[in-house]
Amino acid sequence: MPAFPDDWFLRRGQFERGAIHDAAWAAELDVVTRWLDALPLTGRILEPAAGVGFFSPLLASKGELHASDADGAALDLARTRLVAHRLLAHLHVADPWGAVAQDDPGADAVVAAFLLGRVRGAGLDVAARSLRRRLRPGGVLAVIELLADAAGGPPPDIAWTTHEPGVIEAALGRAGFTDVLLRPTGRFFVTGSATAV
């Protein structure tokens, strides 16, 4: 699946929706970024489906970032963004749902930004269990997803499923997470965190 481009994040070009919409989008994206910055993420941080690395510099400033994406061209943009901030990270072309090695000690944090919307129906439970396997006990999961908004949403060439926050919370609970809490930022996004049991 292609990564979300910078123009999507910044509401430029084909993603412009008018001054009022774009200002509201930018304000909520700022809320998301400040929320992510305030999370106590440290140690080994995984960012599956990092895409163009919109959040990667923030995460690399908090710990040892391991960012991956199936889209190698997007990761090249992420690398450029990290270099511009004079930050280091491990970047790998990889399937975000790939198997976890048996000797993997687990990460201290996983940031799943716009990842759960890539799965449908019962696939959400499979995805939640996959995220849990990537974390050590006590590790933190951070989730950023899209709310259903006709003028928001993913780029038009990306297949997407919008999950209600309560549906994601339930799936994470079944997968072995505790302290699960998701909150809408307003019209466009939902953020949440959970702790691996």
pLDDT digits (tens, 9 = 90+) for 29-77: 999 999 999 999 999 999 999 999 999 999 999 999 999 999 999 999 9
Q: Is the per-residue pLDDT at 12 higher than 80?
A: yes
| pLDDT category of residue 106 using cuts at 50, 70 and 90 | very high
Which tokens in the block code for residue 40?
């106590």
Q: Is the per-residue pLDDT at 152 higher than 90?
A: no
State in Å, rounded, how far the first CA of the chain is from the last one: 30
Question: How many CB atoms neighbour CB 48 within 10 A?
Answer: 23
Whether this model's pTM surpasses 0.85: yes
Q: Is the per-residue pLDDT at 1 higher than 90?
A: no
| pLDDT category of residue 148 using cuts at 50, 70 and 90 | very high
Q: Which domains does the chain have, with CATH numbers?
A: 6-196 (3.40.50.150)
pLDDT in tens, 19-37: 999 999 999 999 999 999 9
156 CB-contact burial (10 Å; exposed 0-12 / middle 13-18 / buried 19+): exposed
| pLDDT category of residue 118 using cuts at 50, 70 and 90 | very high
Place of tokens 């997968």: 175
**Mean pLDDT of the chain, nearest integer:** 96
The per-residue pLDDT for 184 is 97
DSSP string, 96-116: TTPPPPTT---EEEEEEES-G
Query: How confident is the model over 177-182, as a mean pLDDT?
Result: 98
The per-residue pLDDT for 115 is 96
Place of tokens 């930018």: 26
Query: How confident is the model over 170-177, as a mean pLDDT?
Result: 98
